[in-house]
Every structure is written in C-alpha cells, then in structure tokens.
Amino acid sequence: MIMIFGIPGPLLFGQLLLGLINGAFYAMLSLGLAVIFGMLNIINFAHGALFMMGAFAAWMLLNYVGIGYFPALILAPLIVGIFGVILEKTIISRLYKLDHLYGLLLTFGLSLVIEGLFRNAYGSSGLPYRIPDVLQGATDLGFMFMPNYRGWVVLAALVVCLSTWAIIEKTSLGATLRAATENAPLVAAFGVNVPRMVTLTYGAGVALAAFAGVLAAPIYSVNPNMGSNFINTVFAVVVIGGMGSIMGSIVTGFGLGVVEGLTKVFYPQASATVVFVVMVIVLLARPRGLFGKAA
C-alpha cells in the first residue's frame, strides 16, 4: 500500500475526493450567490432552500411522474428557476429601493417558509434517491477506487461552473450583464430591458442552486434541512473569496472543499470548523476577500 505522509494512499485520496465533491457544491452555490449579488445587490439567503427544492423536484419527478435522473437534471432546475422568476417578480423586486439588508431578511424569511412547508409534508428524516444505473459501481484508477457517481458530480459541476464563467466573461450577453452590474441606468439607456435581465439573472442563479440540488440528491438523502446545512459554510466561502470575481468563486469553492477533505485526514476534530478558521485568517490579512475588489 502506498503511504503518503504516513497516511494510507486510498484514505488520503478518498477524503480528497469527498472534499472535491463538497467543494463542487460550495462552488456552484457561491457562484449563484455571486451572480445574484452582482445584479440584484441582495444576498439570497433562500439559496439553501432552493438547493433543497432542486433535490426534492428530482425526487418528485421520479416518484410521482416516473421521470428519471438525467431528464430531471434539466427539468428540476427549470422548474425551480421558474419558481425563482415568479419570486423575483412578485416579492423580491419590491425591495430594490431599500437597504440591502432587507433583501437578506426577506429571503431568510422565505427560506423558513419553504423549509417549514417541506418539513410538514415530508418529515425531516430524509428520502432516498437511487444513483442512476449508468453511474453505479466504481472505477479502478490505479491508486484508488472511485465511485462513478462521485466522479460524475465533480465533472458535471466543473462543466457547469466553467460554462457559467464562459457565458459571463466571453459572450456578448455576459458583457451586457457585466455592464448592467456596473451601471444599470446607462445600460438601460442603450435600450436593454434591465428589469427583465435582473429577473432572468435571479432565475439563472436559482436554477444553478437547483442543479446542485439534483446532483446532491443521490449522495445525501433528500431532506428539508440539506440546504441549511450547506448554506452557512457557503457564506463563509463567499466571504473568503469575495464576490467580485466569477472565477474566484469557483476556485475558492473547490479549494476550500479540498482543504476540508485534507483536514478530515490529518485532524478530523477541526474538519467542521476549518473553513471558518480560513475565513478568520483571510479577514485578518485581506478583509475584502481573496478575489474581492477594493471597497
């Protein structure tokens, strides 16, 4: 058996893989938060609840309609995204003239309502969601056995994150979006329908959370608390990365997942807090975050 720093290789790589998977979720969620914050100037506290709704949408599609995993990967984000668009149109858009903190409070209330409703309907013990047949089993990589589904999650998350980055940074749509983030009235003067853009941005950010939820469904059990377990850590990730850069969110998300995985190997007691410790260090050394713009 290979030993690395006195740790058996398979254990180390196994935890690294777990870390990468957590990191994939951190990256997708903090990316959505950053995109929404850029356009709407609110922190979407309901992000965790919408992530959970994505997982539930996949579960419902399978159990009530008989639609399997891969179609759900498209449909669930679409459904939750439309829900997000309705939310933005009816409720959130009323707050743009107020202090940003009200957006945070409103979406916090929203997350309580959503999670409470799901807890009433489905209890909090969690529902199983089967890994699709194609992705069952494991592959021998030589240095470790990798469960196929976990590899798929990392791959899918990377593809989605990088496509989001490419759309925002490399297309003309993204250019308009970035311009509107900098100066909305000016972009509106060029004939762009900024309110519609804001609505669609929220929908897209929410869809991203729901996509992450579907990916998470077979790994964690589908339960009403799965979002709130994640979201606090994701906020720390956002503070560490700073919300200025899309690539920054992706790198910070995956990076912190890996740091967490390594901590699990070398000092398991601290694995729950290591992300917060990193946050403290970043706050002391570089308050605006690793990739944040100067305030």
Partner 1 sequence: MFGFSRSQSIAFVLMVVLIVVSPFVLYPVFLMRVLCTALFASAFNLMLGYVGLLSFGHAAFFGMGSYVTAWTMKFWHVDASIAIIFGGATGAAFGLVLGYLAIRRSGIYFAMITLALAQMVYFFCLEAPFTGGEDGIQQVPRGYLFGFIDLSNDMTMYWVVAAVFVGGFLMIHRIIHSPFGQVLKGIRENEPRATSLGYRTDDYKLIAFVLSCMLSGVAGGTKALVFGIATLTDVHYSTSGEVVLTTLLGGLGTVFGPAMGALVVTSMENYLAQAGAWVTVIQGAIFMLCVLAFRRGIIGEIGAFFRLAL
User: What are the residues binding partner 1 (CB under 8 A)?
Assistant: 37, 42-43, 91, 94-95, 98, 100-102, 104-106, 108-117, 119-120, 232-233, 235-236, 238-239, 269, 272-273, 276-277, 279-280, 283-284, 287-288, 295
Q: How far is the CB of 22 from partner 1 (least distance, A)?
A: 15
Q: Are 115 and 49 in contact (CB under 8 A)?
A: yes
Pick 94 or 170: Cβ nearer partner 1: 94
Q: Are 279 and 292 in contact (CB under 8 A)?
A: no
Q: How far is the C-alpha of 143 from the C-alpha of 133, rounded, in Å?
A: 25
Q: How far is the CB of 137 from partner 1 (least distance, A)?
A: 35
Length of the chain: 295
Q: How far is the CB of 86 from partner 1 (least distance, A)?
A: 14
Three-state DSSP class for residue 268: helix
136 φ/ψ sector (left φ>0, alpha ψ -120 to 50, else beta): beta
Q: How far is the CB of 154 from partner 1 (least distance, A)?
A: 25
Pick 203 or 224: Cβ nearer partner 1: 224
Q: How far is the CB of 87 from partner 1 (least distance, A)?
A: 11
Pick 172 or 269: Cβ nearer partner 1: 269
Pick 190 or 267: Cβ nearer partner 1: 267
Per-residue tokens: 75: 């449909």
Query: For helices 100-122 and 226-241, what crossing angle results, to 10°?
Result: 150
